[in-house]
């Protein structure tokens, strides 16, 4: 199975949101990583054919998805970034309704809805209306609706938004289990969401696909370039102005810095194993740089 992205560019009025993207997806889990506004949602909307690229095309098994239309939709599952469902439907009614739209037979639909409510941990809330759902519960219903037709291609736009840590772990488990023979593409700006599940990570910056590789490859490349050092506040602050800082940890009157640098940034700095988080900060910077205690 192949989903090929060929020279895809997208322009919103006078804003160029995607710039000449080329990529080939084969079965596996892909993490699309980039800061807000990088073009992740635009890319995903093009991949599911709800948005036509300004130029270029997406081919599924060598055929343009905009020509395949419903044939393509039949093998697709999609969670949009702004998924809300229908507030007056219960979880059960909503999933049954989507199953109907997707053409599942009545008996299969009931069976799938039950299975999926179990899978996403919402079976006990199946008769509650979506309007009473928390953000995390809505996201889980959104994931369930994307899975109803057992899609070959699953595209999840920020599936972990609003999920608590245990729900994030559950989702990772679900995705890993179903990854065989499926193309799963998920977007996030939270590195830990994809670190352990993604076979490949795609870095998107300002509409450009700047790099793609396995997490292990990214980590190998960064080996020897991540350091920690604990310094008094003044000295630490001056290093923060000079280097790429991937974490800051206050320890009493001292500050422990995690630094990404090709050269040893301070005499007392020691090399530590890289994490994907360091790679993110290296490519995208860290606008938060909050001090953690």
Ligand X SMILES: Nc1ncnc2c1ncn2[C@@H]1O[C@H](COP(=O)(O)OP(=O)(O)OP(=O)(O)O)[C@@H](O)[C@H]1O
Instruction: Enumerate binding residues for ligand X (CB under 6 A).
Output: 12-13, 15, 17, 34, 36-42, 81, 189
In the bound state with ligand X, the residue whose beta carbon lies nearer, of 38 and 95, is 38
- Give the list of residues 6+ apart from residue 229 with CB closer than 8 angstroms, or none: 239, 256, 257, 259, 265, 266, 268, 269, 270
Least distance in angstroms from the C-beta of 31 to ligand X: 13
Least distance in angstroms from the C-beta of 111 to ligand X: 34
Least distance in angstroms from the C-beta of 52 to ligand X: 13
Phi-psi category of residue 36: left, alpha or beta, with phi > 0 → left and psi -120 to 50 → alpha? beta
Least distance in angstroms from the C-beta of 81 to ligand X: 6
Least distance in angstroms from the C-beta of 76 to ligand X: 19
In the bound state with ligand X, the residue whose beta carbon lies nearer, of 19 and 264, is 19
List Cα–Cα distances, 55 to 11, 24, 25, 155, in angstroms. 9, 17, 19, 21
Least distance in angstroms from the C-beta of 271 to ligand X: 32
In the bound state with ligand X, the residue whose beta carbon lies nearer, of 40 and 140, is 40
CA distance 195 to 214: 10
In the bound state with ligand X, the residue whose beta carbon lies nearer, of 43 and 94, is 43
CB-neighbour burial class of residue 14 (10 A; exposed 0-12, middle 13-18, buried 19+): exposed
In the bound state with ligand X, the residue whose beta carbon lies nearer, of 64 and 81, is 81
In the bound state with ligand X, the residue whose beta carbon lies nearer, of 80 and 121, is 80
Q: Name the DSSP letter for residue 220.
A: H
CA distance 44 to 33: 12
């Amino acid at each position: 199975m192949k989903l090929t992205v060929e020279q895809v560019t997208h322009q919103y009025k006078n804003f160029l949101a995607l710039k000449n993207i080329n990529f080939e997806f084969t079965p596996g889990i892909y993490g699309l990583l980039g800061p807000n506004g990088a073009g992740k949602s635009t890319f995903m909307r093009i991949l599911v054919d709800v948005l036509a690229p300004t130029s270029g095309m997406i081919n599924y098994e060598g055929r343009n998805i905009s020509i395949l239309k419903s044939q393509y939709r039949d093998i697709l599952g999609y969670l949009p970034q702004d998924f809300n469902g229908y507030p007056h439907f219960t979880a059960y009614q909503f999933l049954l309704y989507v199953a109907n739209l997707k053409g599942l037979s009545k008996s299969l639909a009931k069976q799938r809805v039950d299975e999926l409510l179990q899978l996403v941990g919402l079976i006990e809330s199946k008769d509650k209306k979506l309007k009473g759902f928390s953000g995390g519960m809505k996201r889980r219903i959104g994931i369930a609706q994307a899975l109803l037709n057992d899609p070959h291609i699953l595209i999840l736009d920020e599936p972990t938004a609003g999920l608590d840590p245990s729900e994030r772990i559950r989702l990772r488990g679900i995705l890993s289990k179903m990854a065989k023979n499926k193309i799963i593409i998920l977007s996030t700006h939270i590195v830990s969401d994809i670190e352990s599940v993604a076979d490949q990570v795609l870095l998107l910056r300002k509409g450009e696909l700047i790099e793609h590789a396995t997490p292990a490859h990214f980590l190998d490349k960064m080996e020897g370039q991540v350091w920690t050092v604990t310094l008094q506040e003044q000295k630490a602050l001056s290093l923060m102005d000079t280097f790429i800082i991937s974490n800051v940890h206050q320890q009493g009157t001292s500050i422990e810095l995690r630094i990404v640098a090709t050269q040893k940034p301070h005499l007392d700095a020691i090399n530590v194993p890289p994490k994907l988080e360091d790679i993110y900060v290296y490519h995208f910077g860290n606008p938060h740089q909050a001090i953690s205690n």
